[in-house]
A and B are shown apart, each in its own frame.
Chain A
Amino acid sequence: MKSYENVRSNEDIYEAKAESRRKRAAEPFERKLLALVRMQLMDYSLAIAAGRVARKPWHFEDQERIKKYAEAHD
């Protein structure tokens, strides 16, 4: 994986981003599920902050579940 120290062009950055996406895709499905719920949470928070109505994230009523899940899979 490239670090910021050896970035010399935008191409380097795009390449590193693509590599990171491929790595993410190859992660266990459980970790990707966790990422999905976090995206839902972020989307929900932004929508509420902007005064919009938004769908609640999965397991919204039981966030302790997501916290425990994250502790195990992060």
Chain B
Amino acid sequence: MQNQLPPILGPTLEMINRLEREGIIHKPTIGGSVAIMYYAQPVKTDDLDIFCYLPNQTLLIDLSPIYRRLEELGCKVKDLYINVKGVDVQFLVPANQPLVEEALENALSVEIENVKIHLFQYEYALAVKAQAGRAKDWAHIAVALESASPDRVKLEAILKEHGLCEKWRRKIEE
């Protein structure tokens, strides 16, 4: 039954996986609010954050090969976002960001609407959001923690490793 349904994310993820098969990106991984939503209650977000590596990446990030190819495939660019099969996608590449790189390395492989894709572990998704540290990030973390408990030991270790413990305690636990 579900196979015949019009999916929400499936065609978008298939297109993203196609970019990986063509060698334009490596290890596309769902992060951001959608990753947190996989584990916790949904909250409103406008875009799907896809973290990935670029081949031959230097310190300067160049996302244009991704956007160019997706435009060739009929997707429409809207500012920094690109609408891929009905879903606004934001591509993010780790640039000297050890936490994001670690989150990518430790990503899980999941299946969403019959499409295989990588996904941040809950604890990494929370830590990456904490590192971003905008008011809306902390609000989302608070809402997520109310509905789904992370592995405390794992989360503490990640926060400690990346110098986020104090910030976390100040914002969440006080």
User: Which residues of chain B come closer than 8 Å to A32, judged between CB atoms?
Assistant: 37-38, 41-42
Q: Is B80 engaged at the interface, CB distance under 8 Å to the other chain?
A: no
Chain A positions within 8 Å of B42 at CB level: 24, 32-33, 35-36, 39
Contact indicator B8/A37 (Cβ below 8 Å) = yes
Nearest residue in B to A54 (C-beta to C-beta)? B46
Residues from chain B with Cβ under 8 Å of A33 in the complex: 8-9, 37, 42
Q: What is the total number of residues of chain B having a CB less than 8 Å from a CB of chain A?
A: 27
- Report if A59-B2 is in contact (Cβ < 8 Å); known contacts: A21-B41, A21-B147, A32-B42: no
Taking a contact as CB atoms under 8 Å apart, the answer to whether A36 and B44 are in contact is yes
Known interface pairs A29-B112, A40-B44, A61-B86; A21-B146 also in contact (CB < 8 Å): yes
User: Which residues does chain B contribute within 8 Å of A40, judged by CB atoms?
Assistant: 44, 46
Q: When chains A and B are docked, how far (Å) is the Cα of A24 from the Cα of B37? A: 10
- Interchain CA distance A58-B83 in the complex, whole Å: 9
Contact between B44 and A43, CB atoms less than 8 A apart? yes
Q: How many A-B residue pairs have CB under 8 A?
A: 72
**Closest residue of chain B to A43, judged by CB?**
B44
Q: Does A30 contact B (CB under 8 A)?
A: yes
Cα A22 to Cα B42 with chains together (Å): 11
- How many chain A residues have a CB neighbour from B under 8 Å? 29
B2–A58 contact, CB under 8 A? no
- Decide yes or no: A55 and B88 within 8 Å by CB, A25-B40, A32-B41, A36-B45 being known contacts: yes
Whether B113 sits at the interface, judged by CB under 8 Å, is yes
Within 8 A of A (CB), among B61-90: 86-88
Which residues of B does A touch, CB under 8 Å? 1-2, 5-9, 34, 37-46, 86-88, 112-113, 143, 146-148
26 A-B pairs whose Cβ atoms sit less than 8 Å apart in the complex: A22-B147, A22-B148, A24-B42, A25-B40, A26-B148, A29-B37, A29-B38, A29-B112, A30-B2, A30-B8, A32-B38, A33-B8, A36-B34, A36-B45, A37-B8, A39-B42, A43-B44, A55-B46, A59-B86, A59-B87, A61-B86, A62-B6, A65-B86, A69-B7, A69-B8, A72-B1
